[in-house]
Amino acid sequence: MSSVAPERVRAIEAWNELDERGSPILIRAIRWIALHLGRRTSRWLLPPIAGYFLLAAPVARRSSRQYLRRLGLRGHWWQVARHIHCFACTILDRVFLLTDRMATLDIHLHGEQALDEALRDGRGCVLIGSHLGSFEVLRALAINRHGRGLKVLMQPEHNRIVTDLLHALNPTVAGSVIPLGGFDSLLRAHEALGRGEIIGMLADRNAPDGARLECDFLGAPAAFPLGPWQAAAALKAPVLLFFGLYSGANRYDIHFEWLADALEAPRRERADTVAGWVERYAERLDHWARRAPYNWFNFYPFWSDRA
Amino acid sequence: MNDLQTLEAEVATLIVETLNLEDVDPAEIEPDEPLFNTGLGLDSIDALELALAISNRYGVQIRSDDADIVRIFASLRSLAETIDRRRTQ
């Protein structure tokens, strides 16, 4: 287990700080605009909002540029602007997704047979996502397609203010978060699976003292957390990956990929399997990031090296 | 050893085996030592696996909405007492 380099910690904190400090006013603004002006009008206001992030968040700007370069792009300011604009679009759409106004969105599913198969016997499954694209778009899916509940396992401090502001729009959603950190978190998740619910987790950000594995991502090593996968293994449920990619205008393309059947192995036999899962995840994240480059919303130094 | 102490020893072994605690000798787990966060330092994944193992071995269900759940998992002794109480019902 490696400790995190101090400057990396500071950069991550700076992003969180901006997210938490600059965000409340902006998120409130986006929220108000979305609720009162509708999607089409709201989108005209996104460029200035994206412009604010571009100017006010040097960490985000630099991280965007570094990321785009790893993809083979030059990282010109207009590419960075496009990157941030894409992010702002999905934040706006979170308001519509949370207030049940999905009709304005054009959502396409891919690989949904894998999800159907995993849910077939009435039990739930684990869906692992990332900050590539929108996570919120999954709620539309969970509610509409199978009528199964969705419970999200997440760190309570993660994007706390943004989460609170958006979840205030929909109390049902607030109740659908299972905060990690309590010793009963996984017990609750297991019970939800027994009721046929879907457990969602994002697996591309490390907890400060969490176990992690270095995997290749876009050609360089990056640390990925092991926690979500250890949890998935302990939950003994089928595991699928999903990527809710924003494709511009009002279109989202959600891709489901089967990862593993419910793991029967006892704990002492799991380590290799879990490591394989993380590597597969990093591989698939790489695959989709290359195809939807502006959907990458980890605006901080992601890699282990400093290039 | 009385029955409860025997059960405590059994549960201690169950904890070590289920959670694959390689460096821990079951006999060294203090009955009143905290299990979570401090003491043995177990986490939420451990709590799940332990609850499942207890269900399989003793037929005792421990659910997250159990009013006593914090107390039940507080120590080896409270866990053993709970199992003892519930399996005779």
Question: Can you give the pLDDT at residue A170?
Answer: 78
Question: What's the burial of B45, exposed, middle or buried (CB within 10 Å: 0-12/13-18/19+)?
Answer: buried
Mean pLDDT of A105-130: 94
**Residues 6 or more apart whose Cβ sits within 8 Å of residue A133:** A90, A243, A244, A245, A246, A252, A288, A292, A295, A297
The distance of B4 to chain A (nearest Cα, Å) reads: 25
- Evaluate whether A210 touches A2 at the Cβ level (below 8 Å): no
Exposure letters A216-249 (e unless 16+ CB within 10 A, then b): ebbeeebbbbbbbbbbbbbbbbbbbbbbbbbeee
Do A187 and B73 make contact, defined as CB atoms within 8 angstroms?
A: no
The interface predicted TM-score of the complex, written ipTM, equals 0.92
Task: Give pLDDT tens digits for B22-57.
Answer: 889 999 999 999 998 788 889 999 999 999 999 999
Indicate if the pLDDT at residue A307 is higher than 60. no
| B→A interface, C-beta within 8 Å | 18-20, 36-37, 42-45, 47-49, 51-52, 62-64, 69, 73
pLDDT in tens, A92-107: 898 888 887 888 899 9
**A34 vs B9 pLDDT, higher one:** B9
CB-nearest partner of B64 from A188, A234, A267: A188
- Torsional class of A219: left (φ above 0), alpha (ψ -120 to 50), beta (otherwise): left
- Pick B45's closest partner by Cβ from A188, A191, A231: A231
Higher pLDDT, A57 or A189: A189
In the predicted model, is pLDDT for residue B19 greater than 60? yes
For position A193, what pLDDT does the model report?
96
Q: Is the pLDDT of residue A252 over 60?
A: yes
Q: DSSP characters for chain B?
A: --HHHHHHHHHHHHHHHHTT-TT--GGGS-TTSB-BSSTT-B-HHHHHHHHHHHHHHH-----TT-TTHHHHTSBHHHHHHHHHHHHT-
User: In the structure, what pLDDT confidence band is assigned to residue A164 with cuts at 50, 70 and 90?
Assistant: confident
Q: Do B64 and A184 touch (CB under 8 A)?
A: yes
CB count, 10 Å around CB of A208? Answer: 9
Q: Which carries the bigger pLDDT value, residue A22 or residue A215?
A: A215
- Considering the entire predicted model, what is its pTM? 0.90
CA distance A32 to A49: 13
**Residue A11 neighbours by CB under 8 Å, 6+ apart:** A59, A63, A300, A301
B42 vs chain A: nearest CA distance in angstroms? 8
Q: Which of A6-20, A277-291, B22-36 has the lowest mean pLDDT?
A: A6-20
Comparing A160 with B13, the larger pLDDT belongs to B13
DSSP structural state of residue A132: B
pLDDT (0 to 100) of residue A1: 36
Lowest-confidence pick of A44-53, A194-203, B13-22: A44-53
DSSP A260-306: EPPP---GGG-HHHHHHHHHHHHHHHHHHHHHSGGGB---S--BSS-
Q: Which tens digits make up the pLDDT trace of A70-94?
A: 999 999 999 999 999 999 899 889 8
Chain B residues with beta carbon closer than 8 angstroms to that of A229? none
Q: Is the pLDDT of residue A281 over 80?
A: yes
Asked if A127 and A170 touch (Cβ cutoff 8 Å), the reply is: no
Contact A191 B63 (CB under 8 A): yes
Q: How many CB atoms lie within 10 A of CB B86?
A: 15
Q: How confident is the model at residue A7 (pLDDT cuts 50, 70, 90)?
A: low
